[in-house]
């Protein structure tokens, strides 16, 4: 059991609070657009009431105080997605009180946990006029059960905090992290259905039990958490009756204030690999070779097929690779990649288990890649290669921020938006997607910096739209390009699994009217005043 709380200084250092938040310059954020139908007096009333609950210093209620919550990487040319305020509670009771106040003043709240949803919007909101309900201060690791390999955490807990806790207490468990692990946390990442790269990489799959403040201010525990003896809360996901946890992910039906997750026992042996392929079209053969090994769990972790462009963008600036006009050609990526020890495709995966298990599975893996001319390389072959080192770190749940360098590919402006359409894990799905992505990105002058990922039976095309956010014209182009990607891929049946606040409605349209109507009905039943994150996943 650990009781860790952040003081104000560390929150300010972490960018959660602006210096203006210390003084709270005034009550007016009216330079910003309020939510539809909202009166200035209601906004002011809500801010005043929030202050009474959490204290002045934990509320940003004016245009300058809210600046730290407006930082974003996605294109937002009109500033439409910036929040108008922020409130930072420190416990469940305060969250309940804030939600009740929000109902009273019809003040919408955009909930974040660690608030670092980079490339999807950070703490910006789907619709104008929202106050960020920032749960960073609620950062207690409530319990870790070393026998069951489970944890129960609050929303503000970061992966770094969890890793440190396990190390300090000599608990030999692994965590599974997204690529930006140190500064983000399991609750926000899981609720947005994020992924990592160990065998526990599908985060919602290894989530177990939630505590949720509902829009009426009441508290719900899912799964076994609401029984008289909730000791199996983190052990058994399903409880009884309809499974509710799913409706609190990628949604606006509640505020999750506690979440259980499963942790992975450290395996006796861990062996990371990369397989290099030279040609763009090779990715189809890689997917077909990989699919049976993922489905049968011979390869137990999420597999990343990293394109040379994406890899180079992690550690280089565009000018280092290409100074010509238009989209960087494959030949330039291939040439620069070869110098860096990269193929056109670099497929990262790992084996976990006893030496005997690994030796047997390695034979199967090597035979599968020999049949498709893959160059299979291990740690010994890749000593000193920063790309291999980065992925080897991730696939054992290690923490790294190296990949954030992507956002500087086009300059210091820091523009990045993820586009991630889903297809079945079949090689035949790749060529059409590559052609379409290159065509749309090229039309707007952006590069094909991508990876493919195989979770199990599905293929994600992870497209990093990299642009210079400090150039307003380029930001507008990026915005239009992203919309074209969503609609162009959508028309071919490749809809996104997740998207940024700038495109939530557009993506929701691709899932059909009945799907939207059911979501709307649930929303109306649970949150009749629509105060929780209107617009999240296209749900008003």
Ligand X SMILES: Cc1cc2nc3c(=O)[nH]c(=O)nc-3n(C[C@H](O)[C@H](O)[C@H](O)COP(=O)(O)OP(=O)(O)OC[C@H]3O[C@@H](n4cnc5c(N)ncnc54)[C@H](O)[C@@H]3O)c2cc1C
With beta carbons less than 8 A apart as the criterion, state whether 51 and 21 touch: no
With the CA atoms of 335, 337, 338 and 344 taken in that order, what torsion angle do they form, in degrees rounded to the nearest 10? Answer: -90
Query: Distance between CA atoms of 421 and 507, rounded to whole angstroms?
Result: 10
Residue 161 lies near ligand X (rule: CB under 6 A): no
Pick between residue 112 and residue 208 the one whose CB is nearest to ligand X: 112
Query: Distance between CA atoms of 215 and 219, rounded to whole angstroms?
Result: 9
Strands (E), 90-165: 109-112, 131-134, 141-145, 150-153
CB of 314 to ligand X, least distance (A): 8
Pick between residue 112 and residue 290 the one whose CB is nearest to ligand X: 112
Q: Which of 73, 120, 270, 348 is catalytic?
A: 120
Pick between residue 251 and residue 361 the one whose CB is nearest to ligand X: 251
Neighbour tally for 115: CB within 10 Å? 29
Selected binder of ligand X within 111, 198, 311, 347 (CB under 6 A):
111
Selected binder of ligand X within 92, 338, 404, 506 (CB under 6 A):
404
Per DSSP, the residues of 463-522 read EEEEE-TTSHHHHHHHHHHHHHHHHHHHHTT--BSS--TTSHHHHHHTT-HHHHHHHHHH
> To which H or E segment does residue 309 belong?
helix 308-315
Active-site residue, 165 included: no
Selected binder of ligand X within 82, 175, 187, 466 (CB under 6 A):
187
Give 401's DSSP letter: -
Nearest Cα residue to 393 out of 261, 198, 184, 203: 198
First to last CA, the chain: 39
Active-site residue, 159 included: no
Residue 135 lies near ligand X (rule: CB under 6 A): yes
Residue 112 lies near ligand X (rule: CB under 6 A): yes
Residue 422 lies near ligand X (rule: CB under 6 A): no
Binding range to ligand X, per CB under 6 A, among 2-10, 62-70, 115-123, 228-236: 115-123
CB of 158 to ligand X, least distance (A): 8
Residue 351 lies near ligand X (rule: CB under 6 A): no
Binding range to ligand X, per CB under 6 A, among 190-198, 370-378, 434-442, 481-489: 190-198
Residue 6 lies near ligand X (rule: CB under 6 A): no
Binding range to ligand X, per CB under 6 A, among 7-15, 174-182, 331-339, 351-359: 174-182
CB of 253 to ligand X, least distance (A): 8
Binding range to ligand X, per CB under 6 A, among 167-175, 322-330, 368-376, 399-407: 399-407
| Residue 497 Rama label (left phi>0; alpha psi -120 to 50; beta) | alpha
Pick between residue 308 and residue 368 the one whose CB is nearest to ligand X: 308
Pick between residue 24 and residue 99 the one whose CB is nearest to ligand X: 99
In sequence order, the β-bridge partners of residue 145 are 150
With beta carbons less than 8 A apart as the criterion, state whether 489 and 519 touch: no
Residue 223 DSSP SS3:
helix
Residue 191 lies near ligand X (rule: CB under 6 A): yes
With beta carbons less than 8 A apart as the criterion, state whether 318 and 328 touch: yes
Selected binder of ligand X within 60, 131, 141, 255 (CB under 6 A):
255
Residue 463 lies near ligand X (rule: CB under 6 A): no
Pick between residue 108 and residue 115 the one whose CB is nearest to ligand X: 115
In sequence order, the β-bridge partners of residue 419 are 463
CB of 15 to ligand X, least distance (A): 12
Q: Which of 221, 366, 497, 511 is catalytic?
A: 497
With the CA atoms of 208, 212, 214 and 218 taken in that order, what torsion angle do they form, in degrees rounded to the nearest 10? Answer: 120
Active-site residue, 120 included: yes
Pick between residue 274 and residue 313 the one whose CB is nearest to ligand X: 313
Which distant-in-sequence residues (6+ apart) come within 8 Å of 59 by Cβ?
21, 24, 47, 50, 51, 85, 86, 87, 88
Residue 534 lies near ligand X (rule: CB under 6 A): no
With beta carbons less than 8 A apart as the criterion, state whether 336 and 308 touch: yes
CB of 111 to ligand X, least distance (A): 4
Q: Determine the size of the site formed for ligand X (CB under 6 A).
A: 32
Q: How far is CA 420 from CA 94, 247, 424, 482, in A?
A: 36, 21, 13, 11
Nearest Cα residue to 178 out of 352, 401, 387, 389: 401
Query: Distance between CA atoms of 31 and 33, rounded to whole angstroms?
Result: 7
Selected binder of ligand X within 18, 75, 83, 185 (CB under 6 A):
185
Residue 39 DSSP SS3:
coil
CB of 387 to ligand X, least distance (A): 14
With beta carbons less than 8 A apart as the criterion, state whether 86 and 47 touch: no
Q: What are phi and psi of 346, to 5 degrees?
A: -130, 105
Pick between residue 43 and residue 197 the one whose CB is nearest to ligand X: 197
Pick between residue 88 and residue 112 the one whose CB is nearest to ligand X: 112
Selected binder of ligand X within 68, 75, 128, 194 (CB under 6 A):
194
Selected binder of ligand X within 115, 128, 223, 307 (CB under 6 A):
115
Residue 163 lies near ligand X (rule: CB under 6 A): no
Residue 117 lies near ligand X (rule: CB under 6 A): yes
Pick between residue 160 and residue 509 the one whose CB is nearest to ligand X: 160
CB of 154 to ligand X, least distance (A): 9
Strands (E), 354-504: 375-378, 415-419, 422-424, 450-454, 458-467
Active site residues: 120, 497-498
In the complex, which residues of this chain contact ligand X (CB under 6 A)? 111-120, 135, 155, 178-180, 184-185, 187-189, 191-192, 194-195, 255-256, 403-404, 406, 416, 533, 536
């Amino acid at each position: 059991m650990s009781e860790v709380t952040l003081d104000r200084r560390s929150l300010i250092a972490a960018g959660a609070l602006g210096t203006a938040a210390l003084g709270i310059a005034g009550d007016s954020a009216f330079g910003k657009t309020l939510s539809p139908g909202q009166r200035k007096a209601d906004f002011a009333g809500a801010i005043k009431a929030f202050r009474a609950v959490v204290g002045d210093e934990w509320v940003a209620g004016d245009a300058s105080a809210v600046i730290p919550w407006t930082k974003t990487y996605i294109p937002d040319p009109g500033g439409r997605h910036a929040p108008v305020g922020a409130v930072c509670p420190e416990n469940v009771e305060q969250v309940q009180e804030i939600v009740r106040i929000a109902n009273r003043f019809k003040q919408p709240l955009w909930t974040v946990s660690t608030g670092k949803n980079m490339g999807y919007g950070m703490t910006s909101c789907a619709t104008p006029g929202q106050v960020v309900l920032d749960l960073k201060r609620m950062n207690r690791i409530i319990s870790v059960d070393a026998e069951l390999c489970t944890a129960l955490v609050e929303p503000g807990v970061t992966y770094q905090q969890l890793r440190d806790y396990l190390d300090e207490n000599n608990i030999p468990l692994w965590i599974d992290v997204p690529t930006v692990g140190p500064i983000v946390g399991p609750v926000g990442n899981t609720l947005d259905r994020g992924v990592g790269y160990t065998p526990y990489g599908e985060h919602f799959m290894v989530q177990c039990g939630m505590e949720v403040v509902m829009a009426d201010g009441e508290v719900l525990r899912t799964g076994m958490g609401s029984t008289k003896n909730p000791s199996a809360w983190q052990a058994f996901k399903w409880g009884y009756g309809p499974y509710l946890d799913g409706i609190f992910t990628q949604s606006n039906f509640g505020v999750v204030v506690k979440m259980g997750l499963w942790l992975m026992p450290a395996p006796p042996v861990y062996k990371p690999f990369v397989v290099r392929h030279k040609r763009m079209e090779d990715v189809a053969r890689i997917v077909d070779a990989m699919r049976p090994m993922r489905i049968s769990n011979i390869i137990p972790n999420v597999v990343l097929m990293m394109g040379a462009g994406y890899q180079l963008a992690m550690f280089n600036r565009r000018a280092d690779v290409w100074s010509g006009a238009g989209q960087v050609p494959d030949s330039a990526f291939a040439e620069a990649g070869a110098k860096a020890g990269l193929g056109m495709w670099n497929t990262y995966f790992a084996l976990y288990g006893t030496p005997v298990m690994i030796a047997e599975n390695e034979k199967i893996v090597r035979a599968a890649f020999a049949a498709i001319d893959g160059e299979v390389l291990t740690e010994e072959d890749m000593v000193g290669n920063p790309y291999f080192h980065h992925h080897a770190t991730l696939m054992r749940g290690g923490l790294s921020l190296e990949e954030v360098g992507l956002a500087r590919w086009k300059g210091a402006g820091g523009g990045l938006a993820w586009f991630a359409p889903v297809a079945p894990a079949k090689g035949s799905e790749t060529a059409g997607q590559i052609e379409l992505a290159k065509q749309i990105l090229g039309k707007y002058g952006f590069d094909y910096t991508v990876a493919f990922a195989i979770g199990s039976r599905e293929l994600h095309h992870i497209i990093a739209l990299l642009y210079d956010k400090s150039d307003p014209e380029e930001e507008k182009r990026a915005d239009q390009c992203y919309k074209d990607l969503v609609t162009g891929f959508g028309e071919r049946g490749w809809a996104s699994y997740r998207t940024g606040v700038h495109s939530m409605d557009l993506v929701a349209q691709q899932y059909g009217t009945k799907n939207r109507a059911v979501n709307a009905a649930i929303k109306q039943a649970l949150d009749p005043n629509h105060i929780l994150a209107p617009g999240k996943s296209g749900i008003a």
